[in-house]
Amino acid sequence: MKIELPADLKLVHELRIDVRWGDMDAMGHVNNTVYFRFFETLRIDWLRIIGAMVEPGGVGPVMANGFCNFRRQIEYPGQLLARHFVRPAGRSSLDTYFTLADVATPDVVSADGGATLVWIDFPRQVSVPVPDHVRALCA
């Protein structure tokens, strides 16, 4: 089953990620679990840049779900152009989307996927509204 990315996405961040030798599996291509690491690297870099990192004793985003469509093999050596997209935030959640492509062919997507982030007050263990500055960036 493929989950198609919505058409109305806003590009908010790009990052180049090196494919490492250790990312490959016995079949000679990047292991499927590593795609989620690439998405995580991109997402955390964006959250850091916008000042929305997790504060274990306070408030921050957690990943509520995630998916990946594997479209083409990624192999070593290589460098990926990872793109991060968003849609307008809900009350306490934000849907984020990602694409991975070789930097040499940035319009040929090797994988795409997404994750829903939910803002949590960790000490109280309840959802809280997405911060206004994050909401503004995603509008």
- 94 contacts 113 by C-beta, under 8 angstroms: no
Helix, strand, coil percentages in the chain from 3-state DSSP, rounded to 5: 20, 40, 40
Residue type, 4: E
Domains plus CATH for the chain? 10-138 (3.10.129.10)
Among 15, 130, 135, 133, which Cα is nearest to 61's?
130
**pLDDT above 90 (res 127):** yes
Longest pairwise C-alpha distance within the chain:
47
Residue given tokens 């803002």 in the structure block: 119
Percentage, residues of the chain above pLDDT 90: 94
pLDDT confidence tier of residue 95, bands split at 50, 70 and 90: very high
Which pLDDT tens digit goes with each residue over 49-90?
999 988 889 999 999 999 999 999 999 999 999 999 999 999
- CA separation for the pair 92, 51 (Å, rounded): 17
